[in-house]
Amino acid sequence: MDINKPIYLVLITGVIISSLLFASALALHIALPNMTEVVYTLALMGAAVLILTPYLRVAVALGAFLFNREYKFAILSLVVLLMMVISFISGFVFHIAP
Amino acid sequence: MAENGLETITYITGHYASRPMLEVTSQLTLLGWTFVAGFLGALMGIGGGIIIVPALTIIFGVPIKEAIAISIVTVVATSISGGSSYVEQRITNIRLAIFLETSTTIGAFIGALLVLIVSGNYLYVVFALLAFYLALSQILSVKREVKRTESNDFMNITQDRVSKYFNLRGDYFDMSINHKVEYLVKNSIIGWIVSFLAGLGSGLLGVGGGIFKVSVMNIFMNVPLKAAVATSKFMIGVTAATSAILYFVAGLLNVEYIAPAALGTMLGASVGTALMNRIRVKWLKVFFFLLMCYIGYNMLGKGLLLTLGLRLPLI
């Protein structure tokens, strides 16, 4: 399998969904300035999709390398994914969140 | 469990909704600024925080901490938007990216922990010196890189053991000269260590994610500049997302700025990525030299101010 393909798919899906959410937040804000809560929710959902995309991208790379039996790179992807999760968890534990 | 999750979401949105909403004109101005940041970031393989943070603090009067949080989200935006385009154009070296991501994520994690114990102020000076060194290397290697790109000479090296073990190599089609450029990666261990330092810097100081990654690959690892730009663009999203998620969960994202800022950078990045491969390597190198000088000077200024109390003139 060409690993460019699944990784491209993840990235472009993240781009499309999050930009649609952001664009509708902006459009709604211009059209109906009083719907603040909905605008915020849409923008937050966009941010959530955006932030989770790189996590998914590493996970998909891991899957694609396993599928290709490129175990060296599967291990490297696993290390990256673990570091991302560990940083996230320890952010809570050590209150790194600035 | 589900109810709990819903409560958290209502709490977060409620917390955010209590803020006043930004005017439409300001939102469009912000969109314009971030478009420029996204565009330049795509050409250079960097996040664009050096444009977004000053724009937010100076023009919009956003407090520096909030500006950094917004800028980190836009780095994720520019990385997945620009990154997807470079992956589609097949300029990105995904295997090299994952190899180097292991050290940047470890570095960023240790950096973020070190913030709690030590001050990173003196590190500004170290990174400033590194930036000046890399700026000089960029400008001195223009002729050689142009020649090697045109004659497809990036294969004529001996790989070290680690690069060979991972079989790190790649190729891309350079649209400015209309032929394929192939390359073998070398000095993987040095690259891995410098990426670790770049990660440490971004964890400690929140700066220098992309700039150092591009230079490391290009100057030390025998990766052609355009491939380095695309690979760096792809990589920066990983560390940025790790920080962004912490800001998000802690409720520190200023939502009224997020939509225009993220949208602007994504649009700018798509235009920038469409253009980058058509620009001659020579000009990209010159841009890089100027950018590194500017960043080096700014870091030196910050470092001297924070450690010795010296104030350099602003540029």
DSSP structure string for B258-271: HHHHHHHHHHHHHH
Residue type (1 letter), B256: E
pLDDT tens digits, residue range B93-152?
A: 999 999 999 999 998 888 878 877 777 677 788 888 888 988 898 899 899 999 998 888
Helix (H, G, I), strand (E, B) or coil at B277: coil
DSSP B169: E
Which of 274-303 (B) contact A at CB < 8 A? none
CB contact under 8 A, B80 and A36: no
Q: B312 lies in a domain?
A: no
CB contact under 8 A, A51 and B248: yes
Structure tokens at B268: 């700018």
Pick the residue of A34, A51, A55 with the most B CBs within 10 A to test the interface with B by mutation.
A51
Q: How far is CA B3 from the centre of its chain?
A: 38
* Residue whose C-alpha is closest to residue B212's, from B75, B65, B47: B47
Contacting residues of A for B26, CB less than 8 Å apart: none
Which of 131-150 (B) contact A at CB < 8 A? none
Confidence band of B247 (pLDDT split at 50, 70, 90): confident
Instruction: Count CB neighbours of A92 within 10 A.
Output: 12
pLDDT score for B61: 85
CB contact under 8 A, A55 and B165: no
The dihedrals phi and psi of B182, each to the nearest 5 degrees, come to -105, 150
Q: Give dist(CA B158, CA B136) in Å, integer.
A: 25
pLDDT score for B224: 95
Helices (H), ranges, chain B: 2-17, 24-44, 49-54, 64-88, 94-114, 121-140, 142-150, 161-165, 188-204, 209-215, 225-249, 255-276, 281-307
Residues composing chain A: 98
pLDDT score for B275: 93
CB contact under 8 A, B238 and A54: yes
Average pLDDT, chain A: 91
Q: A86 lies in a domain?
A: yes
Domains held by chain A: number: 1
Confidence band of B7 (pLDDT split at 50, 70, 90): low
CB contact under 8 A, A54 and B80: yes
Q: B314 lies in a domain?
A: no
pLDDT tens digits, residue range B164-206?
A: 999 999 999 999 999 999 999 999 999 999 899 888 877 776 6
Query: B230 touching A, CB under 8 A?
Result: no
Query: B30 touching A, CB under 8 A?
Result: no
Closest chain B CA to residue A49: B77
Closest chain B CA to residue A86: B109
pLDDT beyond 80 at B22: no
The C-alpha of A82 sits at a distance from chain B's nearest C-alpha, in angstroms, of: 10
Closest chain B CA to residue A55: B238
8 Å CB contact between B233 and B43:
no
Which of A14, A25, A41 lies at the smallest CB-CB distance from B13?
A: A41
Query: B6 touching A, CB under 8 A?
Result: no
Q: B294 lies in a domain?
A: yes
Q: B313 lies in a domain?
A: no
Query: B173 touching A, CB under 8 A?
Result: no
pLDDT score for B311: 80
Q: B225 lies in a domain?
A: yes
Q: Give dist(CA A42, CA A49) in Å, integer.
A: 11
Instruction: Count CB neighbours of B288 within 10 A.
Output: 27
Query: B91 touching A, CB under 8 A?
Result: no
CB contact under 8 A, A97 and B250: yes
Query: B109 touching A, CB under 8 A?
Result: yes
Which of A22, A36, A94 lies at the smallest CB-CB distance from B263?
A: A22
Average pLDDT, chain B: 85
pLDDT tens digits, residue range A70-89?
A: 999 999 999 999 999 998 88
Q: What is the residue range of A25's domain?
A: 4-93
Q: Is the Cα torsion angle B267, B270, B273, B279 positive or negative in sign?
A: negative
Q: What is the residue range of B31's domain?
A: 2-307
Query: B271 touching A, CB under 8 A?
Result: no
Pick the residue of B24, B81, B116, B249 with the most A CBs within 10 A to test the interface with A by mutation.
B81
Residue type (1 letter), B246: L
Domains held by chain B: number: 1
pLDDT score for B108: 85
CA distances from A70 to A61, A63, B85, B151 (A): 11, 10, 24, 32
Contacting residues of B for A12, CB less than 8 Å apart: 84, 88
CB contact under 8 A, B21 and A73: no
Model pTM score:
0.88
Q: A46 lies in a domain?
A: yes
